[in-house]
Amino acid sequence: MKCGFCGHDMPPGTGKVFVRKTGKTVNFCSRKCEKSMLKLGRNPRKFKWTVASRTERLKRGVGKK
């Protein structure tokens, strides 16, 4: 199971499941992720601690040695 915001793996049974109006479910590993997406409407790519931002940086080649 992966967190819908940060993309990190989380053990089944942990975190929180949110059901969207569309009927799709989103898992959140922590309240930080839940709040970031639902309340603040943040883009995961803009946050260093998310998998989305890491892949984004890799694509652009930033941080390569």
Nearest Cα residue to 19 out of 36, 32, 34, 40: 34
Closest contact distance (angstroms) between CB of 36 and Zn ion is 8
Closest contact distance (angstroms) between CB of 2 and Zn ion is 8
Closest contact distance (angstroms) between CB of 50 and Zn ion is 7
- Stretch of 16-24, 25-33, 35-43, 51-59 lying at the interface with Zn ion (CB under 5 A): 25-33
- Amino acid identity, position 16: K
Between the alpha carbon of residue 25 and those of residues 14, 38, 62, the distances in Å are: 15, 13, 32
Residues 3-22: x where in contact with Zn ion by CB under 5 A, - otherwise, as a string: x-xx----------------
Hey, what are 19's tokens? 């059901």
